[in-house]
Amino acid sequence: SLFRLKDLEVPKLGDCDVHVKMLAAPINPADINMIQGTYPLLSPLPAVGGNEGVGEVLEVGRRVTALKPRDWVIPADTGLGTWRTQGVFPEEMLLKVPSDIPVLCAATLSVNPCTAFRMLADFESLAPGDSVIQNAANSGVGQAVIQIARASGIKTINVVRDRPDLPKLVERLMALGADYIVTEEMLRKPEMKDIFKSIPRPRLALNCVGGKSTTEMLRHLQPKGTMVTYGGMAKQPVMVPVSAFIFRDVRLRGFWMTQWRKDHVQDQETMAEMMDTLCQLIRRGQLMVPACTEVPLQDYRAALEASMKPFVSSKQILLL
């Protein structure tokens, strides 16, 4: 067991520091990968886990201008260590978020919805009526893609793995605004053509699986379309038929939210615009918190175990 619950002293508040009482923090796949050491970011040990969450400002150092007590904050970058009840952080490591959105929405805002938002915005200029295809559609990012696309009039074709409770999953994704839901096996079937009688073929594919499902998804892209890979849950490479490159000139790109943040440190405007749009969607009920299970901090072991089970449809969120 790599994990222990420990009591630590809260450090003294420096002039540029912010004392934060954490409210809620999810367990994401990348958090687990960081702990396993299979992620490109390694924290110096001993470290506090968790890269995402929301907290309330208790006190600020005398040179802090952008934040005040009672404000809500989320991490500005990866590696903050959010699985704790309190912390003292430099001001620049925090982003203010409105406190009129549900606490679980704020706790899950900085990773999945941002990833979904950027991938929909940055690779193809999509217009209402266009379509997008994605695998792992029931993941946190997948659920956000469905809702953000829906709000912009973009149709989604959502690929999920076949499973015992498939009808229940289909119902849940439809309720979020999914237009089509297909299993990986259906991607190879002639019935796929029926979908494209009513909507155009996608110009954008979002992949976080790899292996066969990805190759099959690629076949449905429009010529000159883009496939963006942001994860590899099947732990298999992306295989592309040569013909897709030559005759359809498909583009393969990658996306990593952590890198995007690094590249946009100076560009506060783009960052603020994205957060603003997402918070508006949340307020209008167009972007819901992902299906989740709330777990008190002392039950963290059960939460970690649950988050690593196959076919998880619920995100574990630690209540702090």
Catalytic residue numbers, as ranges: 39
pTM: 0.93
The two structure tokens encoding residue 229: 């890979």
pLDDT at 254 over 80: yes
Place of tokens 């954490």: 22
pLDDT at 312 over 80: no
Q: What is the mean pLDDT of residues 288-317?
A: 88
Q: pLDDT tier at 14 (50, 70, 90 boundaries)?
A: very high
pLDDT at 313 over 80: no
CATH superfamily of 111-257: NAD(P)-binding Rossmann-like Domain (3.40.50.720)
Q: pLDDT tier at 289 (50, 70, 90 boundaries)?
A: very high
All structural domains of the chain with their residue ranges? 17-108+289-319, 111-257
Q: What is the mean pLDDT of residues 156-161?
A: 97
d(CA 260, CA 180): 30
One-letter amino acid at 278 equals L
pLDDT at 318 over 90: yes
Q: What is the DSSP string of the chain?
A: --------PPPP--TTEEEEEEEEEE--HHHHHHHHT-SS--PPSS----S--EEEEEEE-TT--S--TT-EEEESSTT----SSEEEEEGGGEEEE-TTS-HHHHHTSTTHHHHHHHHHHHSS---TT-EEEESSTTSHHHHHHHHHHHHTT-EEEEEE---TTHHHHHHHHHHHT-SEEEETGGGGSTTHHHHHHHSPPPSEEEESS-SHHHHHHHTTSPTT-EEEE---TT-------HHHHHHH--EEEE--HHHHHHHTTT-HHHHHHHHHHHHHHHHTTSSPPPSEEEEEGGGHHHHHHHHTSTT--SEEEEE-
Residue 27, pLDDT score: 93
Q: Per residue in 55-84, pLDDT tens? A: 999 999 999 999 999 999 999 988 899 999
The CB density around residue 281, as the number of other CB atoms within 10 Å, is: 22
Q: What is the mean pLDDT of residues 272-291?
A: 95
List Cβ neighbours of 46 (8 Å cut-off, separation of 6 or more).
Answer: none
Q: Per residue in 78-137, pLDDT tens? A: 889 999 999 999 999 999 999 999 999 999 999 999 999 999 999 999 999 999 999 999
Q: pLDDT tier at 47 (50, 70, 90 boundaries)?
A: confident
Q: What is the mean pLDDT of residues 233-237?
A: 89
d(CA 244, CA 262): 32
Q: pLDDT tier at 30 (50, 70, 90 boundaries)?
A: confident
pLDDT at 53 over 90: yes
The two structure tokens encoding residue 2: 């790599």
Provide the CATH topology of domain 17-108+289-319. Quinone Oxidoreductase; Chain A, domain 1 (3.90.180)
Average pLDDT, the chain: 93
Residue 274, pLDDT score: 96
Contact 126, 153 (CB under 8 A): no
The two structure tokens encoding residue 175: 């309720």
The two structure tokens encoding residue 27: 């367990």
